[in-house]
Structure 1
Amino acid sequence: MQAVVLAAGKGTRLRPLTDAKPKVLVEVNDTPLIEDVFDNLLEIGATELIVVVGYKQEQIIERYGDAYEGVPITYAHQREQLGLAHAILQAQPHVDDDFILMLGDNVFRANLSDVVNRQREDRADAAFLVEQVPYEEATRYGVLDTNEYGEIVEVLEKPEDPPSNLVMTGIYTFTPAIFHACHLVQPSDRGEYELPDAIDLLLQSGRTIDAIRMDGWRVDVGYAEDRDRAEELLGTRSETTQQL
């Protein structure tokens, strides 16, 4: 299965760490964020990495070249950072079939393979991990609104008044139907083409969408304190493993 990695962002909230490097090359425990993403993707069976680059892209290309651990890399270029749905469309010419999507700035230690397995079993057009976060943090993410049966009825991008605290994390699988939805998305109030809006279009058109509860943890490294938290969690896990 091909994997698309979104790595074009500037990481303005991580400044000054990103003044001289792209966000995905910020290190957590001496490992660049994108390298941790690559390792996770290879572990769940990715056969090709399609990396969408933008800000200071030459640093990523020079560092990783045309392969990572023997898995080929193809680069797609997002010349303007206009949102995740726009970024996905830059990868479209290189995608052959169903694919994994992973954000390049998330550190995961969780059940990532469940996303691939569920999508294949259900033949869903989208599948992704979800987690519950404090309500005050839900405004940072794509939020799921569910009915009394737990079924998803709407997906909202960074709502000011979240209908729930159940949010999408940074890993998905999609069929090529997502590209048509991304083409239909209109700019948000932020002037960006939002991925949750594209997923909501799939949902409203009757496509099958699977939300899978995350078993484990992830950190969305948006701020310096997020990086510190990821390093703490990884360090704690390493110490526990050594003790065992």
Structure 2
Amino acid sequence: MKAVVLAAGKGTRLRPLTDDKPKALVEVDGQPILSHCFDELAALDAEAFVVVVGYEKEQIVEYYGDEYEGIPITYAEQEEALGIAHALLQAEEYLDDDFMLMLGDNVFDANLADVVNRHQESRADAAFLMEEVPWDEASRYGVCDTNKYGEITDVIEKPDDPPSNLVMTGFYTFTPAIFHACHLVQPSDRGEYEISDAIDLLLRSGRTIDALRLEGWRVDVGYPEDRDRAEALLSGDVDPASEERAETAD
């Protein structure tokens, strides 16, 4: 499959790390976040990258050029920061089959291949990883509500009162049906076109959505302390298992 990476963000919360560069080029453990994304997707046999750029796009294009480790790169531009669903639509013309999507500010050491395999086996229109986070952090993400059988019934973006603490991570697989849903999405209260709303539209139209529990770890690099945490995990200075136990105890 081709892989879309969303890398248009300014990274205002990451300042001062983003004072002179886009968020995607902030280094984590010696290489840009975007390179970590490319490495993970290359391990999943991505045949091509479609990178959605915006803020300081010239820096990203100059840094990577037209290929990464032999995998071709196409760039699409998001001129306004109007949300993930809007960013994804900028890549629509370059995709005509199932594809992977990764948010370009996430660092993973997780079971991403399980998502790809599940997608191919079940022919779901969307598949993604869910992560259990502390309740006080759930409102930062797209939250998954489930029934008693563990099936997803709703996906809500950044709710004030989260119905669960199961959240979507920054890796997905989709069929082209997601584009029709993205075109139908209306702006949220934040004025953005949310990918969670597009997935919810697929759910309500009877499409198959698969979600797997995250095994391993991922860090959404939104703040400088997140960058430090990702570096500690990648370098082995922090044991993911002990970190998980500490969060559970909290």
* Range of TM-score over shorter length: over 0.9
The 4+ residue runs of structure 1 with deviation greater than 3 A are: 237-240
Q: Percent identity?
A: 72
Distance 1:132 1:45 in 2: 28
Partner of 1:87: 87
Partner of 2:214: 214
Partner of 1:137: 137
Partner of 1:161: 161
Residue 16 of structure 1, CA deviation: 1.4
Residue 106 (str. 1) matches residue 103 (str. 2): no
Partner of 1:151: 151
Partner of 2:123: 123
TM-score (norm 2): 0.94
Checking the alignment, whether the CA contact within 8 Å between 2:233 and 2:239 is kept in structure 1 is: no
Letter in 1 for 2:106: N
CA offsets per residue over residues 61-106 of structure 1, 9 Å max, x none? 0010110000000000000010000000000000120000000010
Partner of 2:195: 195
Distance 2:37 2:67 in 1: 14
**Structure 1 residues 239 and 221, CA gap change in structure 2 (3 angstroms):** closer
Residue 150 of structure 1, CA deviation: 0.8
Distance 2:65 2:238 in 1: 30
Partner of 2:246: none
Distance 2:63 2:197 in 1: 33
Residue 60 of structure 1, CA deviation: 0.4
Residue 148 of structure 1, CA deviation: 1.0
**Structure 1 residues 203 and 239, CA gap change in structure 2 (3 angstroms):** closer
Partner of 2:233: 233
Residue 17 of structure 1, CA deviation: 1.1
Partner of 1:8: 8
TM-score (norm 1): 0.96
Partner of 1:58: 58
**Structure 1 residues 138 and 64, CA gap change in structure 2 (3 angstroms):** same
Residue 51 of structure 1, CA deviation: 0.2
CA RMSD between the two structures: 1.3
Residue 239 of structure 1, CA deviation: 9.7
Corresponding residue SS for 2:116 = helix
CA offsets per residue over residues 6-35 of structure 1, 9 Å max, x none? 000011100111121000100011110000
Residue 236 of structure 1, CA deviation: 1.3
Distance 1:167 1:200 in 2: 14
